[in-house]
Structure 1
Amino acid sequence: MSDEREHAEAVAGGGRLDLRADCERCFALCCVAPAFSPSADFAIDKAAGRPCPNLAADFRCGIHTDLRRRGFPGCTVYDCFGAGQKVAQVTFGGQDWRRAPRTAKRMFEVFTIMRHLHELLWYLDEALTLEPARPIHGELRLAFDRTERLTHGDPGTLVELDVAAHRQEVNALLLRTSELVRAGVRRGKKDRRGADLIGADLRDADLSGADLTGSIFLIQSQLQSAKGDAGTKLPPSLTHPAHW
């Protein structure tokens, strides 16, 4: 069995678990590291590296069940792709930034880098399951393995990483993947060939009744920010948001 096929079967059997957020194993890094300003997404202003005032002592959100009504829909659509627990449990060996404050600043810096890397891993992981992209599976596997190795760097190495340059290299492969997949799809009058919709803002987009089962590189946070209903069909790796 080829490495690519083994990888695809691992994903089909739940191989993406390490790329899903596990808040129980994190130290609420997404509630501290990023900055946000008063907007439609956040009700207050918070500087980067400052804990959100809604963050409880046990690293849980004090208004988790009421985020949208309280003016924090941005929190409900955020996805770290598993970067939080990777930084907390692997990069910093389970150190708590509250109990070990000397680690805080560097931990928050690393989290930002790790989130980018884990997002790329998510897309590469999906690309390796796509049959039309088989001609470049070898290149995708090399990119996946290289990105995975980068995530295991020490804090100093990670903060010095030119993540933008690495992302550009990976994006070139993802665009080639998209081209291969779309080559076999009959086009209608509207031709969006060349459009890069990875990371597209679907905020308040109405997906009611839409069939998205053939979509590629669609992520859960995009769905969380959109509108939909029980008739919206999704790829098997994604779930209907609770607010639909």
Structure 2
Amino acid sequence: MVKNTPAFVLRPFEGLPGEPDWVALKEVVPAATATARTTAEYGAKDVLVTTVLPTGWRALHRADGVILLALQVPGGSGDASRDLATALLEALDVEAGTAIESIGLPTPGPRLQDVLDLSVPFEVTLQESFAYWLAPDTERTADLTAAIEDADAGIIDTVKLTAADSAYWCRMGDREFLRWSQPHEEQVVLDGLARLHAARESGFDDAKFVGYFRSSGLVVPVWELTRGTEAAEVEAPLAAFVPKFAAALADTTPLDANARRARAGLVARQVTLR
């Protein structure tokens, strides 16, 4: 007998406030939280969406009653929204201080779009430590402190920029990058990037376009910045680039031969994330 499992959903976060930020926190941001709230039907409960939780937990009903929901989790049913909603609803039902370590393969049921209040903005806060995993009054044992310090060691410097929505500066070793999660359909973004790349205008202020990630139906273009570039130094040049990029995205004329070649090169450099 074939089980009735959810069908694959290309854009699982479509329709949620801040869809590009959901994708960024799921894939390219190491440590961050964001705000959400369940609907009245599900208790109007505040939810702290987080990039990760200890040892891959799906969710946590923290000792002080706060609900944490992790995005960077392994596997799933093919519909990340349904998987996350399943973990969230389980976390709401368990006692404070309980983690949802796994959820199995969810059967058809509510999705985040059904469970969350869509009027609540998805406001992202970058975190420098995973200490928020613990309730403020939790006793810090040596083991807990060591576990958090070990997790913190893997956090790369990341800053959410203000010049463009869902744009993140990060430093990896001695190199800096801009990762800009896009709200548009993949083909629209690729065509826009191809037009700019063919015209040698895909970079800005010595920032070099180097490729893009694909995840959850969206595209995250990546630029490598001049060595040593701080986050604040990217704001002005990015703000100046935004209108040019918007114009390229809005252009619906057929790609010329140079742009078609550029587009083929872009596709060859893509990295698909889960």
Normalising by structure 2, we get a TM-score of 0.30
Q: Give the number of the structure whose residues are more often strand, by fraction.
A: 2
Higher Rg of the two aligned structures = 2
Normalising by structure 1, we get a TM-score of 0.33
Q: Give the number of the structure whose residues are more often helix, by fraction.
A: 1
